Structure 1
């Protein structure tokens, strides 16, 4: 009788029983919302937005009005073309209208962001309603929505906005946001419609239909939650485009005149010949703030992609 080879259990240190290295300690991907890109992006936008909310409590924003400060002062540590040095009372300098640029930034950055956010929100809401209706219902509804969206996309939006805002006696924040939103919805509508077309024949939608769910429930209770990451990305893209459009109009002098905006500050710098006078702080500050705003939106978009897509999370480990 031959001796049978006895098999013994693998030792606890064997490769087959090796525990994951992250076992028993905190793994940052267990909480996907703790995403570095998302945190940095949200922090940048919150910093710019909260500056307009709590900034007046720490800095006199009345200095942002004309003739409230000495003219053409450079930031602290610099000297202008007349040999005048910056003063601590106006740390980021002043313009030739006698406005403190730090006060202008505190007032203008949130205003520019609000215009873009309002326009993007209105545009994406219209896109959700029309895109779901066209993609899910089909028929003449789909034909009508596609026709209106295609016609609107062929219209040169910036040219029309320039004409509209040039004939208006006064442009308010809400008016500007509505005008921009009037041309912001077609792209979102077409994109959402294409997603709905691919989802309406899916298994879970068919099961919900067989269970007696209404069209409203199918569209907005079954399908909409699965499109939230896509809609969020569309919103970020829409907000970026709306801010660019608003800044473009403001730089042409067609923005709100009763409130400070970043684009309006650039327009004033152009009219005040800031380039020829080497007043870089006049146009440089709003440019930096706009750059931070766009970087924040981009990081939020990238961070949300990783949160919604487990493959991206694993690839970025």
Structure 2
């Protein structure tokens, strides 16, 4: 999904409270600038990149004719998505529909069909999203998640990161449509799932696969956490507490998982900003971005955009 407008359509805001001491503000600016200076990891959410992961399987398991057909459908789909991202939604939707028609007419095996269909469903969801049809967008994304279940159970494809990405997109659409009742708990469950790989946190048990989950790499965990936190930043302020309430607490004397700790810190920072607690917001910004390469660039940018305008000019717009 492409990046949408800031939460509630508002521009970068200045706090109405009295200016903070220069120390906390400077610490927040330096921490966020440091976080934004690191290069981003490869995007786990890029459908084209995910499809490339499957290329070895396609070459090994499918016929030459099936592989060529899937490549053609993929090229048509990606051109359609690029047009939609550029604002040419009708032209993009036409290409996505052409890819769907090609797949519908194709005489191919079940594995090839399900694999191609899984990406087409996600592409159709994006078209619905850009066309302001949130219900249809969410429905298509859940269809794509269902195809992930088929790919895992029947053929052993790695799908864990992709289904989390799709669930993020579905929740983003719902939050963007002002449906904040379910979103906070789903986002917290996804954060817990990413940090722990405990399948009881998967928010859609009717779409769970039966086989063992494929492991998420460390880069994928940080990238997916960043995706979820970008959606948290768009939630209505009054429901943010439900996200932190659903995050696990850690026993006394034990350090929390770094992903869970950063997620809690980010959510509390967004809450502090929404409530006008400037000192707490700056303190949490500094805590959110400790030194080191483990970073969450989208989330850091959302925090930087909430700094006073002078600080934003030097930090968030780099």
TM-score range, shorter chain: under 0.3
TM-score by length of 2: 0.24
Give the TM-score of the pair, scaled to structure 1: 0.25
